[in-house]
Amino acid sequence: MTGYKRVLLKLSGEVFGGGNVGVDPDVVQKIAAEIAEVARAGVQIAVVTGGGNFFRGAELQQRGMDRVRADYMGMLGIVMNCLALQDFLEKMGVETRVQTAITMGQVAEPYIPRRAIRHMEKGRVVIFGAGMGMPFFSTDTVAVQRALESKCDVVLVAKSGVDGVYTADPKLDPTATKFDDLTYAEAITRGLRIMDQTAFALCGENKLPMVVFGMEPEGNILRVVQGEKIGTLVSA
Ligand code: UDP
């Protein structure tokens, strides 16, 4: 088994809500336990969380809100997920730092990349919150940017309800088939939507590998980190 030394884990907001709006503490506790296992195995780990369990700017825009303000609401929602995850990690004895792209000194550190790397070297889990701090971005793209800037070996995209990249959304198209391996060029040409296209392009340009896999069964995060071949490997 190969295994990675430093990984960036992307968790979408959906995972935090267990399918509902808001944070489901039972679900977050389970995710935290899996991340704690990774940290205890001596692998450096940073996390980027989404916020779709609270707000998505584009959806609020469709319901009449100004896109920019709605995107900022989205970014604030992300921070709540980060704090919930931090709470459970620290209860498990895993030192954790949240760094946000929008400064909020009382609740988190500001985003300081070199400091984030230092935290990871000391075995702390770093959670990057508030997205890029800029409207019109998605946390998929942020995950890739943070992984590149903090020199991670791979972006791990943990999904709920789907176990890899498919030719089409398997929930909508029963004939969809799963890829074991895929190139970024192919993902972009086929218009695959499991991650946003900007994220695929940024990863591809910088030759950073990505593994898209399912959260179920429990323990998958550690399995992927240790190099077990599950989900879909996307590479340049
Ligand atoms: N968002 C943003 N800029 C960013 C990251 C996120 O404006 O850099 C906003 C955007 O409105 C987005 C929301 O935050 O819809 C939640 O993020 P995302 O949709 O990526 O979360 P996920 O789908 O992963 O749960």
Whether the Cβ atoms of residue 12 and residue 139 lie closer than 8 Å to each other: yes
CATH number at residue 230: 3.40.1160.10
Nearest ligand 1 atom, CA 74: 14
51 close to ligand 1 (CB < 6 Angstrom): yes
Say what the pLDDT of residue 23 is: 97
Cβ neighbours of 125 (radius 10 Å): 25
Per cent of the chain over pLDDT 70 is: 99
pLDDT mean across residues, the chain: 96
Say what the pLDDT of residue 1 is: 53
Cα(135) to centroid(ligand 1), Å: 8
Looking at the domain assignment, is residue 188 inside a domain?
yes
Looking at the domain assignment, is residue 175 inside a domain?
yes
Looking at the domain assignment, is residue 35 inside a domain?
yes
Looking at the domain assignment, is residue 1 inside a domain?
no
10 is in an annotated binding site: yes
Q: Specify the amino acid at residue 44.
A: Q
- Selection from 209, 154, 139 nearest residue 43 by Cα: 154
135 close to ligand 1 (CB < 6 Angstrom): yes
Cα separation, 67 vs 78, in Å, equals: 17
Nearest ligand 1 atom, CA 78: 16
Residue-wise pLDDT for 178-203, tens only, equals 999 999 999 999 999 899 999 999 99
pTM for the full predicted model: 0.96
Looking at the domain assignment, is residue 134 inside a domain?
yes
Cα separation, 110 vs 100, in Å, equals: 5
Cα(41) to centroid(ligand 1), Å: 30
Say what the pLDDT of residue 2 is: 63
Residue-wise pLDDT for 52-62, tens only, equals 999 999 999 99
Looking at the domain assignment, is residue 61 inside a domain?
yes
Q: Is the pLDDT score of 204 beyond 80?
A: yes
Looking at the domain assignment, is residue 176 inside a domain?
yes
Domain housing 231 = 6-235
Question: What are the beta bridge partners of residue 182?
Answer: 234
Element (H, E) at 188: helix 184-189
Tell me the three state secondary structure of residue 181. strand
Say what the pLDDT of residue 47 is: 98
Looking at the domain assignment, is residue 31 inside a domain?
yes
74 close to ligand 1 (CB < 6 Angstrom): yes
100 close to ligand 1 (CB < 6 Angstrom): no
Say what the pLDDT of residue 86 is: 98
49 close to ligand 1 (CB < 6 Angstrom): no
Confidence tier at 19 by pLDDT (50, 70, 90): confident
Residue-wise pLDDT for 87-108, tens only, equals 999 999 999 999 999 999 999 9
Cα(50) to centroid(ligand 1), Å: 6
Nearest ligand 1 atom, CA 56: 15
The strand order across the sheet containing 210-214 reads 109-110, 96-100, 125-129, 44-49, 6-11, 154-159, 210-214, 232-235, 181-183
Cα(71) to centroid(ligand 1), Å: 7
Complex ipTM > 0.90 = yes
Number of domains in the chain: 1
Per-residue pLDDT averaged across 33-37, rounded?
Answer: 97
Say what the pLDDT of residue 18 is: 84
